[in-house]
A and B are shown apart, each in its own frame.
Chain A
């Protein structure tokens, strides 16, 4: 039995399904990210685990116990809200101590634990400061400390880093990851940021329109997206229409053949990640294209090439070689292993 089990969890608002038949098993100490665009149901799912939203149907069980009849205040979960939701009339230390007070922890132990957790998040010096006089990053740490100090059975993070600037966000990601590893707290993160989900989580639940499209480790969901939605939501990707010829064991895209073991018959969609596309010699194998734009990004070049009116994105590592410039005619090639092939369908959005 897993630590936390969501069993066909559904939340319906009138005719609209916010979450539909979501099933998920989270192991103790695991870091799971619920990832998806806004309105995909990830926050509703978190709210149902926290107890602020009642599921329409389905079950949530924590350590084998059904949570349905348990009030939010009795669930023993630590929550970090997107807005941090600090108590503005209390100092940092009072904010953090509140949960311990509610548990009836004695004053001496309370002070000890508040001091420890503030030191852990690097706020030892700001214990007497009021939230309004702290920066966004500092408030974020207070919110994290307040959620962790009660030694929650699960730590729920609702877009915790989305209000921070890019550099601070990266720092907090590393710190959050280290803290979670050190304490071993089972953590569920809700985010719309795919790089954040991939950086932090052991497993990612990619959600779309209230359902889980794919559940798996970050590299697996990236390398082997189960659905076109996952492929497009996790990083950039190129989609080509092609056809397959199982008799000869090849897939044909724009007149070029790639050998593929046991391809599905008929029209297929082929997706290739931009970093797997390479420039081949102009008279060799590959799709003929013209470079439209070239953007320098430090460690790599980002290209957009046009072939038959279709735009193809290419990422070329800045390895010091000679790279094509805008207006050049090129051929785009990739390895057969880098193709993900599905039976054709109309691509929506």
Chain B
């Protein structure tokens, strides 16, 4: 300012007319990286799913719907996809119920224990999914599994617990692997809860059960649903756990795509499976997210 008598007209003339270009330059590297390693491969996979493939001719760069017709009409693929989403739904339910309870108990713990158990809950995230899943295999893997050996040795069981290559086994192992995501999500919701609200409900005559059901649960429901979306997406697209526990006998969409790519070498068919999984997941997650936002629009204001 020069100190002369025209401050009101001098200022707004320059400011809003020319927005700075700096933000665009600053996000450019991240955008380029995203395009190069996410969008381009996805586009290439989509293209690949329309190519032809034969045992002796390999991949032919043509545009046909053969793979898509096969994926949509063959009941084998339907079975695999139904199984994939059944496992994902079950894992989500197990994580929602156990994870919410876990997070609530964690939140009510005293000073030293809370920090210790938070590490216990989140610690597994630091260990490879493969290692954690192999742990389950070591415990329950057929007659050589430690738990099975012990129980058979003690005479409790005559047959090993059916765990390997079963859906139950995959659900249990996946729930364990994905539990921290649910606990973290619910924990964040619990942190926003005002402690006096529970006292207020108690003073109005609500029992502890009523407080949990009518006061706490509705307030952390968005957190549970957000965690459920994460867990569902990760469970439906999980690869390591279903491939170790489920193996070749119990295929899910991601292990099916893997086998088409690397064993059958039918890349176009594998691409169609992968793209279908992606589309289904995006549709489910986007609509679930919309539903959550609509249902809790008052709370997100």
Give A residues with C-beta under 8 Å from B.
50, 52, 71-79, 81-83, 85-89, 98-99, 102-103, 130, 132-133, 146-147, 150
Contacts and interface: CB of A to CB of B under 8 A. Distances in A.
Contact of A132 (B194, B214, B299): B299
Contacts of B204: 73, 98-99, 102, 146, 150
12 contacts: A73-B203, A73-B204, A73-B206, A75-B203, A79-B199, A81-B196, A83-B194, A83-B196, A86-B197, A88-B219, A99-B205, A132-B298
Given A76-B205, A102-B206, A146-B204, 15 more contacts: A50-B199, A72-B199, A73-B203, A75-B203, A78-B203, A79-B199, A81-B196, A81-B200, A85-B199, A86-B200, A89-B219, A99-B205, A102-B205, A130-B298, A132-B299
B289 interface: no
A130 B297 CA distance: 11
B155 to A, nearest CB: 48
A73 B219 contact: no
B218 A150 contact: no
Contacts of A52: 199, 202
B111 to A, nearest CB: 14
Contact of B200 (A75, A85, A133): A85
Contacts of B200: 79, 81, 85-87, 146
Given A132-B298, A132-B301, A133-B301, A87 B205 contact: no
B201 interface: yes
A89 B298 contact: yes
B207 interface: yes
B264 interface: no
A147 B200 CA distance: 9
Instruction: Name the interface size band of chain B.
Output: 20 to 34
Contacts, number: 70
Contacts of B206: 73, 98, 102
A102 B203 contact: no
B215 interface: yes
A316 B200 CA distance: 46
Contacts of A85: 194, 196-197, 199-200
Nearest to B197: A85
A216 to B, nearest CB: 29
Interface in B189-223: 194, 196-197, 199-207, 210, 214-215, 218-219
B269 to A, nearest CB: 48
Given A73-B207, A81-B196, A83-B196, A89 B202 contact: no
Nearest to A76: B205
A79 B201 contact: no
A75 B214 CA distance: 20
Interface string B164-208: 000000000000000000000000000000101101111111110
Nearest to B222: A89
Contacts of B207: 73
Nearest to B211: A73
A268 B199 CA distance: 49
